[in-house]
Structure 1
Amino acid sequence: MNCQPWLKTLVYKCINIEHSCLLCSELAEQHYPLCVACEHELPWLDEHCLRCALPLPMAGLICAQCSRRPPAFDQVIAPWHYGFPLDTLISRFKHNGQWPLGRLMAEMLGLQLHHRYLDDLARPDLLLPVPLARRRLRERGFNQAGMLGRWLSKALAIECDEQLLLRTRETPAQQSLNAQARQRNLRRAFALASAASLKGSHVAVVDDVLTTGATAQAVAQLLREAGARRVDVYCLARTAKPGQA
């Protein structure tokens, strides 16, 4: 009996993961469930502020806001700007519990970070997901930043601590507030666990989307006061200024 055809099929399946694309359902033909065509259609963030990743018309610049008042964090790493279809993917992950979409985006963020570490990006000692308020956590059932942090931790082999950074009070949803109101909304909204020791550490804060940077600023300021020597922000997407394409 000749088993060679079956063996060839078996070997093919072992070395080629037969994912279906999570966007178009076609065969992905990649190691993650996204086909090349859909990957090219994602809103990749190319030209952006070197500090806060705000989309800009040219690369290699620092935006006016970061020049006037440098933020407490050192650098934001985001693969995409918050546009179609990525905004839909993030919404389906956050609000509809479609975790495979979150896992896919976290995997792609992890790949970009791997490349950046090989280039010139400093590797952090610790990942800290932004915590959710208790009421919102009960409503949603999970913290999307915590899930992203765990996936990134596994991909990057960097510890993720979901207990060190705490949400100390309930705050209104940030989406309905302007930049100044967001900053006021987050005053004293975060704290560190009593046993936290960050002196001399390089920390990366993990979140899904950076909008005005108010959350990142509040958390980074707290971490700096606790002795962190560097604070980066890892997120999936960065929004543009209102009215900016």
Structure 2
Amino acid sequence: MCGICLKQPRAFDNTIAVIDYAAPIDQLVLALKFGGRLALAPLFAEMLARAAQQQVMAGSGDTVLPELLTAVPLSASRLQQRGFNQALEIAKPLARILKLPLQHDLLRRQRDTLPQSHGLDLLQRRRNLRRAFIVQPEAIKQIRGCHVGVVDDVMTTGETLNEFARTLRSAGASRVTNLVFARTP
């Protein structure tokens, strides 16, 4: 863990990532996210499933797969603009491979935020995401006491996933594990 994470512990318990977000892999992620290359999502899911299974097999007794998966939602305007949610496109085949239920609507993004990739520093990213997500009232029973796996394409600073996990925790999630295809080293 970095110094910042030691001083300000994250709301999530664990992160499973396949690969570093660096060239040339970054181009594959961008092809999915902005180029609409949806055929990449099942490949990312297969690799992520293998990484998750390997971590569970190699880990200690507390390294377990989540009970349920969800995906980081896009805002309504960004979803309309893009036409799909890349995290959900990865989560669908991942759920099938891991034989886990997928609840894509546990949380929703209640307001538009600036894209985290737009040169924001750490403090700006935190402010940008503060209270960005809200628990769907009908999802509280599913979240309470549950180990939730959160699927996303890329983790950079982890602020989006931290705010998402904080919101899940406030609804009673017992554990939150991030499952991301790529992570910024």
TM over 0.5: yes
How many residues in Structure 1 have an aligned counterpart in Structure 2? Answer: 179
Which residue among 97, 108, 116 is the counterpart of 1:155? 97
Which consecutive aligned stretches of 4+ in structure 1 deviate over 4 angstroms post-superposition? none
2:131 is equivalent to residue 188 of structure 1: yes
Shift, 1:118, TM fit: 2.5
Q: Secondary structure at the match of 2:117?
A: helix
Tell me the alpha carbon deviations over residues 146-193 of structure 1, each in whole angstroms, 9 at most, x when there is no partner: 111111101100111111111111112111122111111111110111
Aligned to 1:215: 160
Q: Which structure ranks higher in relative contact order (CA pairs < 8 Å, sequence separation ≥ 6)?
A: 2
Matches within 5 A, 1:53-72: 62-72=1-11
Q: Which runs of 5+ in 1 are unaligned?
A: 1-61, 241-245
Greater Cα radius of gyration, structure 1 or 2:
1
Aligned to 2:181: 236
Cα distance in 2 between the residues matched to 1:211 and 1:112 = 18
Would you say the 8 A contact 2:42–2:94 is kept in 1?
Answer: no
2:86 is equivalent to residue 144 of structure 1: yes
User: Alignment identity in percent?
Assistant: 42
Q: Secondary structure at the match of 1:77?
A: strand
Would you say the 8 A contact 2:16–2:51 is kept in 1?
Answer: no
Q: Secondary structure at the match of 1:128?
A: strand
Cα distance in 1 between the residues matched to 2:168 and 2:106 = 11
2:29 is equivalent to residue 119 of structure 1: no
Q: Which runs of 5+ in 2 are unaligned?
A: none
Would you say the 8 A contact 1:90–1:102 is kept in 2?
Answer: no
Cα distance in 1 between the residues matched to 2:6 and 2:149 = 22
Cα distance in 2 between the residues matched to 1:115 and 1:239 = 20
Aligned to 1:7: none
Would you say the 8 A contact 1:153–1:160 is kept in 2?
Answer: yes
Shift, 1:129, TM fit: 0.2
Cα distance in 1 between the residues matched to 2:116 and 2:6 = 25
Shift, 1:218, TM fit: 0.6
Shift, 1:64, TM fit: 1.6
Shift, 1:238, TM fit: 1.0
Q: Which has the higher strand share?
A: 2
Cα distance in 1 between the residues matched to 2:105 and 2:83 = 17
Cα distance in 2 between the residues matched to 1:137 and 1:167 = 11
Shift, 1:102, TM fit: 2.2
Shift, 1:79, TM fit: 1.3
**TM (normalized to structure 2)?**
0.93
